[in-house]
Structure 1
Amino acid sequence: MFNHRTTPTKNYTPLRNSVLQDHRLTYAARGLLADLLSRKNGTKVDIKGLSSACPDTQQAIAKGYAELVKYGYVVRRRVKNPDTGKITTEIHVYDVPQVAEAPEADLSLITPSLSSPSLGSPSPFPSGEKTGETNPPSHTPPAPKAAEPEPKVPGGRLAEIIEEETPETAQCVQILAGLGRRYEQLHLGRREMSTLIPMVAEWLRRGATAAHIYQVMGAGLPPKVNSPKAFLTYRLGDKLPVPPVLAEQASAPVAALPTCPECARPGLVEGVCADCSGRRTAPAPAVSGTQLSALEQMRRDSERARAAFKASYA
């Protein structure tokens, strides 16, 4: 490649090679920066006006402008007029990055005033005209904000329950962690385990083993569990085993009923039953045929009366 340059005497803009060769910028951003530096101080520019003077779209120019803001070539400053109180935005364009990776949102509201010399007056726009200055105007970057202390995580004491060195707690944590390893739907976090430890401990006190808990918690497990903590809370409470004392009472053998020594039939009281001792009352006398025919006649008369009564309301 061979370069052919001329020596301009007017209407030119000096640019540093570091600007034209800044590999962080796209070629569109470098060209936009050169265009902005070639304009006079006080020129009003916006994305729409720049896009009307070139084939690039507004989106392309906005993207290049965002790169210049990001790498410190363009700084936007909101200035409040002390006399009128009106707030305006000034765009300062530099040929040297002022603040590397400076986000536009961090620029604070600046109110120039004679009583606050530390703020200073806005730096002039660099231009292509010869001013006799050897160093370009510089911009003092804002002081970095003090690092804010990290907020305390709520429920820290709740999570510390898991770290208590007790054999029972350690066993409960091991069982809950084992559930997450066996069933991925039941994976629990550290704080979630802390509320389930007392429930698992109650299972262990009632004689349940780790294998029993795994079997009951994983029985009929759906393919997706939205809240493992809520699922285990319900199942640990709903499937809680019977206390050992009640289980022993339920498994105790039932006392046999007393039997009659004569006929060996079970009864409610000990000794000879009523049939064998002759204490049972005699059976009722049999009904004669005349009495049976009278009862049958009464039953038929009742059915006819009932049918007539229903027919009257039909």
Structure 2
Amino acid sequence: MDTQQNTALTRALAEVPGPLPTSGVIHIAIPHTNRFTIVGNHLAQHPDLSCTAVGIAVRIQSLPQGIEVGIKALAARCREGEKRIAAALRELETFGYLQRVRNRLPSGRVITRTVFCNQPTALLHPRRPAAAPTPPRAPAQTETPAPAPPATEQPMPPAPTGLTGPSERPSPEATALLPVPPPQPQLPQSSPFVPLPPSLPPSLPLVRPPTAPKPPPRPLPRPSELTPELDRAATTFLSDLHRHAPQFMLSETDVRQLAPGVAAWLERGAHPDAMRHALTDDPPVPLRRPALLLKHRITELLPPPPPGLQELAALTHRPRITVTPFQTCDDCDRAFRSPTPGHCRDCREHRNEDMRTAA
């Protein structure tokens, strides 16, 4: 069966405006219509906050007011433990996103109130109060309203959501003060079928190419010469294996196929107990194909060949160090090192001076 292609992702990438980048992330921005929270980049890309702190801040910001956001309450909602949540709350408190204030109730009980600010830098600057809308001026009773010039009759805008009856419609003066909503862009009607792009950039494969074929398994090792003695010992070892490991009950065919590999181990000087431990220790549960597991372990855990006589001789050979023996001086009986007996260096110098003086 071929690999299924994600047609929805292909269509979404085809609608991304502009050329696709050759590297890095590609954003598919779908506008939210409900259940969303606005998060500023100053928090999402904060250089000094950890990712855990950013995630905890987003979680707190998405919760409605009055929800408990203590350490134990967040630990019950998140996968992080209490220690990581406590460290994240301390980070948010350091950078002003979170404040924990202790208040004393009239009953004398002290409680901790948590205040979260989604933009703490805005608190540093004084905020201007929002300008209240100017109420319409009521006409004076003494004034006579001037006749309005004739104009084309315009349809009255729809009443606000809170109005329910015709008596609650705003006056024409109040209607003129209402903000005019911006024109909504006409969205193209989505077609039930969107043709796929003819070709995609080579740097953005939608479907991963099929994985490279696995290399063929290594063949079962064989001894340099399968003698009757080696074959008999390997067959006996495999036939007796189920007595020590009941999971490895082999058929006659399996014994014949695996005997050359076991013979290769025996040829390399492996002890039967060590072989049994290496081939049957810690098998998977349940063991469905014991012969296949033995073949894999015989091939992959094959011990190296034993060293030859030359390698052992090089290992045990040590260079001999010639040690000069001690000698006793014939004149002063002082010990000195020399290959032959005689006199020490001082006595030889005295003898040479005496001979020069006599000459």
* TM-score for both structures, normalised by structure 1: 0.29
* TM-score for both structures, normalised by structure 2: 0.26
The answer to which structure has the higher helix fraction is 1
